């Protein structure tokens, strides 16, 4: 049985193999082969994860580390690449690879149509290369045995996010040539980078305090370090929180996720719903030994999550783009998860992570199906009506263009309903069980968090209801919607699988049985809070509190009813302004404009940064450094040196003058000496006599 | 009993005057004659020394005298050639002023 | 009062005077004649020094042949006239100065440093005898044979040279 654990490196290398084959031979393969190859790689990863899970279950959940390679060995610093197979990481592996495989299969069909709608079929291969790369990076993240390996995967998925958001890098979402998509990708990367900086600070502080970043060593010594320097643990956990707000899109670094919807829908589903964004939650869950030592930091985490949940939910109410609603919904649900793990309810948080992966992926993919349906209708119209129709700018994702789609796309409709009900937390769908657990824990531990989350749950149900009425009911508000076509099986079948999981996913952690909870407890020690609970909270049907459950269900149903009142009873017609706008006025405008957070960031941070950059570039670099220092000081001095000092003075006046003078001297000497040869014999004779006189004189004197 | 240095002094005086003649006079023939005067004074010195050696060694010493003999012979030859040269130059230049013969000037 | 010494001084004065005359005469013929006198005086000196043969040779060859040759050429060339003015103005003073200096140095050397004060004897009878002549002749033809022969060749060469140098080409004016 131990042998199975040695398969762990395959988690990373099977997707790498897939992407390498696609890079090398993809040019010669058909789209089907490329897509199915990538999906097979993801599927094989899922098989390995399942095997590891089985082996772990057989070993009673004892964590296993599989050393793979030595990475850094400098002096006392030793960081190997080790795979950690424990219940927590295996959970993540299964979710990522399982949902990932389904999305790969979906993407075969989706991208086949999308590259044709956007007009560049040659990019099909790139997509699957990047998707496999993402799976590989995510696997590194969840299987790492040290914070550094985790960070490698963390950065890697950030890169893949950038590559995939900016997949249509030269267009905007409607296919027009633009910087919009690449800007969205840049925004995602840079915002994540800020979070990564926090993570790095945490890592460095950890290394400084513990001397290691390996999970085993850090968690083993956590209590002792906390006793000696409690501030360090708080610092580490809060720095990590910064990283989490970046990767898992919490306040204040969530702004990239709505823009990330510029990427193709499978990307939104995989990365920005099911897997990458959950990395932050995983990080906190993994670091439970550190967090449980600092309740103050935990409270901050929980608050951040709860506030984000409510904040994002309010924004979702005012969005018109089908994917943007889901994006803010994701931020909101991540807030739930972060709040949960912040409060110490690690099982609840991870459970919600799993169920959220199911129904959010389902929702995104179904939204993709809807968008494709509208695109098909639009093209159908364009072909029939000639090319004048193409002049109009048509946004297939705008819900105001939709309506009545339940008749045109029934399969998608029912799948969407299942996803919505799961998200809203209606019994017996999966979301009910996981969200309810979080609410219960919040109620027990922090009533204010409970209030925030409950309100967020209300809004969740409301905006999802709004979405359903606007998209699927009423009459089509655009000709494209009237001609929308249902998606092929390759798209709808993975959705059905996800729908099944959304329906039955609750079974993972049913009250009383708590399969998932027991599974996770092998890795995470759960502490039961027996603090004085009011009577109504103390009721427990195997862990489920009926009052809280009832309250949340009633609220959800109320919210759906309200949404029906506003959007369902009198369905919107073409061009009609959203009824809530009239009702709420400026509040709705705020929701619609995302509470102007992006504008605020731009004005305060980005524009100031650009100003500083421009100042440094123009003034410091060009005017000071280049124009003045280099030109005047260095070049000027050098030129002065060479032209004036050396050329004029040293060379011309000095050396030339000297040598010219030498020649001049010789000439003059010669000219004057020449006159001795006057041709007169007498003077020669005189010279001889003078010589004689001198010599004799010398002899005399001597 | 004339001391030797008297003769030598006389020889020096004559020599100097001959040199002066060479330097000062412009007539080539006069210059030539001055040269003969110089040779003559040298001869005088030779003979004086010959006599002085004879005095010190006791034996008659004729070397000095023979030398004078040769000098006279050579002087004769030299005069012949020199005068021939002067005649040849005279034919071209129509005078014997040495200052006129200064074409080899630098 | 040594008669010889006085005689010497008188002769010395004569020699210097004639040399001076040679230096200063404008007329070349006068200069030549002065030189002849000088040579004669020096011949007397030779006699004083007990070298009769050399004295005779001097008079015969030097004064008799060479000076006659000189006079011939002087007459031939008619070289009394001296053309234009002095071209080397500094020649005369400098020459006189140098010569004077030389004289001073020679005088100093001879009188102060190298004191050759040994008196030379007056010539006796032996110097004028045939024995002396015979001795000198045998020395000439034994010890100084080579110079003797070379000198005769020299004289031959001089003859040839003189003829060549003065030979008139055909048609050349005199």
Helix spans in A248-321 (H): 256-259, 265-269, 279-286, 288-291, 295-317
Confidence of residue A226 (pLDDT cuts 50, 70, 90): confident
Q: What is the pLDDT of residue A594?
A: 83
- Tokens 């193709």, residue located: A264
> Is residue A273 in a domain?
no
> Is residue B32 in a domain?
yes
Q: B-chain residues within 8 Å CB-CB of A674?
A: 106
Closest residue by Cα to residue A245 from A328, A144, A165, A334:
A334
- Residue A146: beta bridge partners? A214
> Is residue B66 in a domain?
yes
Q: What is the pLDDT of residue C172?
A: 60
> Is residue A399 in a domain?
yes
**Co-location of A574 and A638 in the same domain:** no
CB-CB under 8 Å, B102 with A679: yes
ipTM of this predicted structure: 0.91
| Residue A582 contacts B where some CB pair is shorter than 8 Å | no
Mean pLDDT along residues A74-94: 88
Query: What distance separates the 2 farthest-apart alpha carbons in chain B?
Result: 57
**Co-location of A633 and A485 in the same domain:** no
> Is residue A386 in a domain?
yes
Measured between CA atoms, the residue of chain C closest to residue A680 is: C88
Could you tell me the residue range of the domain that residue A430 belongs to?
A: 348-584
Mean pLDDT, chain A, whole residue set: 86
Mean pLDDT along residues A277-288: 90
CB-CB under 8 Å, A679 with B103: yes
DSSP letter for each residue of A121-187: GGGHHHHHHHHHHHHHHHHHHHHBSBHHHHHHHHHHHHHHHHHHHGGGTTB-TTS-B-SHHHHHHHH
Give residue-wise pLDDT tens across range A568-614.
Answer: 777 777 777 777 777 777 888 888 888 888 888 888 888 898 999 98
Share of chain A above pLDDT 70, in %: 97
CB-CB under 8 Å, C53 with B84: no
**Co-location of A578 and A611 in the same domain:** no
Exposed/middle/buried for residue A660 (C-beta within 10 Å: 0-12, 13-18, 19+): exposed
Q: Neighbours of C (≥3 Cβ pairs closer than 8 A)?
A: A, B
The A-side interface with C (CB below 8 A) comprises: 678, 680, 682-683, 686, 689-690, 692-693, 696-697, 699-700
**Co-location of A550 and A611 in the same domain:** no
**Co-location of A525 and A562 in the same domain:** yes
CA distance B39 to chain A (A): 15
Measured between CA atoms, the residue of chain B closest to residue A681 is: B98
**Co-location of A580 and A630 in the same domain:** no
Closest residue by Cα to residue B42 from B20, B67, B61:
B67
> Is residue B101 in a domain?
no
> Is residue A438 in a domain?
yes
Give residue-wise pLDDT tens across range A284-323.
Answer: 999 988 888 888 899 999 999 999 999 999 999 988 899 9
> Is residue A257 in a domain?
no
- List the structure tokens of A7: 């398969």
Give residue-wise pLDDT tens across range A687-701.
Answer: 999 999 999 889 888
The CATH number of whichever domain residue B25 belongs to comes to 1.10.287.3510
**Co-location of A619 and A572 in the same domain:** no
Of C103, C116, C161, the CB nearest to B84: C161
Of A683, A696, A700, the CB nearest to C91: A683
The answer to whether the CB of A195 falls within 8 A of the CB of A246 is: yes
> Is residue A148 in a domain?
no
The answer to whether the CB of A429 falls within 8 A of the CB of A506 is: yes
Residue A355 CA to residue A358 CA, distance in Å, equals: 5
Between residues A586 and A355, the one the model is more confident about:
A355
**Co-location of A535 and A673 in the same domain:** no
Helix spans in A390-446 (H): 405-408, 410-424, 430-445
According to DSSP, residue A108 is labeled H
**Co-location of A560 and A632 in the same domain:** no
Q: What is the pLDDT of residue A212?
A: 83
> Is residue A524 in a domain?
yes
> Is residue B65 in a domain?
yes
| Residue B101 contacts C where some CB pair is shorter than 8 Å | no
CB-CB under 8 Å, A680 with B98: yes
Interface of A with B in 645-674 (CB under 8 A): 674
Residue C22 has pLDDT above 90, yes or no: yes
**Co-location of A573 and A478 in the same domain:** yes
Tell me the pTM. 0.66
Give residue-wise pLDDT tens across range A40-67.
Answer: 999 999 999 999 999 888 888 788 888 8
Q: What is the pLDDT of residue C171?
A: 66
> Is residue A469 in a domain?
yes
Of B52, B62, B72, the CB nearest to C120: B52
Domain count, chain B: 1
DSSP letter for each residue of C61-108: IIIIIIHHHHHHHHHHHTTT---S--S-TTHHHHHHHHHHHHHHHHHH
**Co-location of A605 and A464 in the same domain:** no
Rounded to the nearest 10 degrees, the angle between the axes of helix A447-472 and helix A410-424 is: 170
CB-CB under 8 Å, A697 with C101: yes
Measured between CA atoms, the residue of chain C closest to residue B46 is: C46
**Co-location of A487 and A542 in the same domain:** yes
Residue C87 backbone phi and psi in degrees, to 5: -95, -20
Mean pLDDT, chain B, whole residue set: 89
Q: What angle do CA A219, A225, A229 make, to 5 degrees?
A: 140
> Is residue B85 in a domain?
yes
Domain count, chain A: 2
In terms of phi and psi (left: phi > 0; alpha: psi -120 to 50; beta: otherwise), the region of A590 is alpha
Confidence of residue A223 (pLDDT cuts 50, 70, 90): confident
Give residue-wise pLDDT tens across range A423-435.
Answer: 998 888 888 888 8
Residue A562 CA to residue A305 CA, distance in Å, equals: 26
Q: Lowest mean pLDDT: which of C53-62, C78-87, C114-123?
A: C78-87
Give residue-wise pLDDT tens across range A483-520.
Answer: 778 888 888 888 898 888 888 888 887 777 788 888 88
> Is residue B100 in a domain?
no
Question: Which of A693, A695, A699, A701 best probes binding to C when mutated, by most C CB atoms within 10 angstroms?
Answer: A693
Q: What is the pLDDT of residue C138?
A: 92
Confidence of residue B106 (pLDDT cuts 50, 70, 90): low
Of C49, C99, C159, the CB nearest to B51: C49
> Is residue B71 in a domain?
yes
| Residue A535 contacts B where some CB pair is shorter than 8 Å | no
Could you tell me the residue range of the domain that residue B22 belongs to?
A: 4-95
The C-side interface with A (CB below 8 A) comprises: 87-88, 91, 94-95, 98-99, 101-102, 105-106, 108-109, 113
- Residue A544: beta bridge partners? A541
- List the structure tokens of A36: 């199915």
The answer to whether the CB of C165 falls within 8 A of the CB of B84 is: yes
């Amino acid at each position: 049985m131990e042998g199975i654990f040695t398969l762990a490196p395959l988690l990373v290398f099977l997707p790498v193999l897939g992407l390498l084959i696609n890079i090398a031979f993809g040019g010669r393969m058909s789209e089907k082969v490329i897509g199915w190859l990538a999906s097979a790689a993801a599927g094989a990863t899922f098989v390995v994860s399942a095997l590891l899970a089985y082996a772990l279950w057989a070993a009673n959940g004892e964590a296993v580390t599989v050393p793979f390679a030595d990475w850094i060995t400098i002096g006392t610093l030793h960081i190997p690449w080790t795979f950690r197979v424990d219940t927590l990481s295996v959970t993540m592996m299964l979710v990522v690879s399982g949902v990932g495989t389904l999305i790969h299969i979906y993407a075969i069909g989706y991208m086949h149509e999308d590259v044709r709608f956007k007009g560049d079929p040659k990019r099909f291969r790139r997509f699957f290369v990047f998707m496999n790369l993402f799976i590989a990076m995510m696997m590194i993240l969840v299987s790492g045995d040290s914070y550094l390996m985790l960070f490698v995967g963390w950065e890697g998925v950030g890169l893949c996010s950038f590559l995939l958001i900016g997949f249509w890098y030269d267009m905007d979402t409607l296919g027009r040539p633009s910087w919009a998509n690449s800007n969205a990708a840049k925004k995602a990367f840079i915002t994540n980078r800020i979070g990564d900086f926090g993570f790095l600070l945490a890592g460095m502080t950890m290394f400084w305090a513990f001397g290691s970043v390996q999970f085993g060593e850090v968690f083993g010594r956590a209590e002792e370090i906390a006793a000696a320097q409690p501030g360090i643990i708080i610092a580490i956990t809060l720095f990590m929180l910064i990283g989490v707000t970046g990767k898992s899109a919490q306040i204040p670094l969530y702004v990239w996720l709505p823009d990330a919807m510029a990427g193709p829908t499978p990307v939104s589903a995989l990365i920005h719903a099911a897997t990458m964004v959950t990395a932050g939650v995983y990080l906190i869950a993994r670091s439970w030994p550190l967090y449980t030592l600092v309740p103050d930091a935990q409270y901050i985490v929980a608050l951040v999550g709860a506030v984000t949940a409510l904040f994002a939910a309010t924004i979702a109410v005012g969005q018109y783009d089908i994917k943007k609603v889901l994006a803010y919904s994701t931020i909101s649900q991540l807030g739930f998860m972060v709040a949960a793990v912040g409060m110490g309810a690690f099982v609840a948080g991870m459970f919600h992570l799993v169920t959220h992966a199911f129904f959010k992926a389902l929702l995104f993919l179904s939204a993709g199906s809807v968008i494709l349906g509208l695109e098909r209708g639009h093209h159908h119209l364009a072909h029939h009506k000639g090319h004048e129709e193409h002049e109009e700018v048509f946004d297939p994702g705008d819900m105001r263009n939709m309506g009545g789609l339940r008749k045109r796309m029934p399969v998608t409709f029912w799948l969407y309903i299942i996803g919505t009900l799961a998200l809203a937390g209606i019994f017996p769908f999966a979301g009910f069980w996981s969200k309810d657990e979080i609410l219960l824990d919040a109620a027990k531990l922090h009533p204010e968090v409970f209030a925030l989350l409950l309100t967020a749950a209300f809004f969740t149900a409301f905006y999802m209801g709004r979405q359903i009425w606007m998209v699927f009911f009423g009459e089509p508000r655009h000709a494209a919607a009237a001609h929308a076509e249902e998606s092929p099986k390759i798209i709808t079948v993975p959705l059905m699988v996800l729908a099944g999981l959304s329906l039955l996913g609750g079974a993972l952690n049913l009250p009383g049985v708590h399969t998932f909870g027991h599974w996770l407890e092998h890795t995470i020690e759960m502490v039961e809070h027996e603090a004085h609970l009011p009577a109504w909270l103390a009721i427990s049907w195997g862990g489920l509190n009926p009052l809280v459950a009832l309250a949340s269900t009633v609220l959800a149903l109320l919210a759906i009813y309200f949404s029906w009142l506003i959007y369902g009873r009198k369905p919107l017609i073409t061009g009609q302004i959203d009824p809530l706008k009239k009702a709420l006025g400026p509040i709705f405008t705020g929701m619609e404009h995302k509470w102007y957070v992006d504008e605020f960031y731009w004005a305060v941070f980005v524009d100031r940064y650009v100003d500083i950059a421009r100042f440094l570039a123009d003034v410091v670099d060009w005017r000071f450094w280049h124009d003045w220092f280099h030109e005047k000081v260095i070049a000027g001095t050098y030129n002065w040196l060479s032209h004036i000092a050396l050329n004029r003075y040293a060379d011309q006046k000095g050396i030339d003058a000297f040598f010219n003078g030498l020649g001049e001297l010789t000439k003059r000497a010669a000219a004057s000496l020449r006159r001795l040869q006057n041709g007169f014999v007498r003077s020669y004779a005189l010279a001889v006599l003078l010589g004689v006189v001198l010599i004799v004189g010398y002899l005399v004197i001597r | 009993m004339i001391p030797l240095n008297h003769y030598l002094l006389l020889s020096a005086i004559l020599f100097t005057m001959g040199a002066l003649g060479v330097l000062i006079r412009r007539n080539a023939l006069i210059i030539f004659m001055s040269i003969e005067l110089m040779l003559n004074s040298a001869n005088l010195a030779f003979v004086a020394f010959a006599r002085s050696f004879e005095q010190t060694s006791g034996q008659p010493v004729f070397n000095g005298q023979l030398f004078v003999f040769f000098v006279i012979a050579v002087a004769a030859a030299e005069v012949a050639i020199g005068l021939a040269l002067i005649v040849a130059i005279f034919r071209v230049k129509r005078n014997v002023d040495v200052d006129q013969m200064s074409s080899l000037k630098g | 009062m040594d008669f010889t010494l006085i005689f010497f001084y008188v002769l010395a004065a004569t020699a210097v005077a004639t040399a001076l005359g040679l230096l200063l005469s404008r007329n070349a013929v006068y200069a030549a004649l002065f030189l002849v006198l000088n040579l004669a005086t020096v011949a007397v000196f030779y006699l004083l020094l007990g070298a009769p043969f050399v004295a005779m040779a001097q008079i015969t060859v030097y004064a008799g042949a060479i000076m006659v040759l000189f006079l011939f050429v002087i007459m031939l060339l008619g070289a009394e006239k001296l053309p234009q003015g002095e071209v080397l103005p500094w020649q005369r003073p400098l020459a006189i100065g140098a010569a004077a200096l030389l004289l001073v140095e020679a005088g100093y050397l001879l009188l102060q440093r190298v004191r050759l004060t040994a008196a030379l004897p007056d010539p006796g009878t032996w110097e004028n005898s045939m024995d002396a002549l015979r001795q000198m002749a045998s020395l000439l033809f034994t010890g100084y044979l080579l110079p003797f022969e070379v000198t005769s060749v020299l004289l031959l060469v001089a003859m040839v040279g003189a003829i060549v140098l003065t030979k008139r080409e055909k048609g050349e004016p005199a």
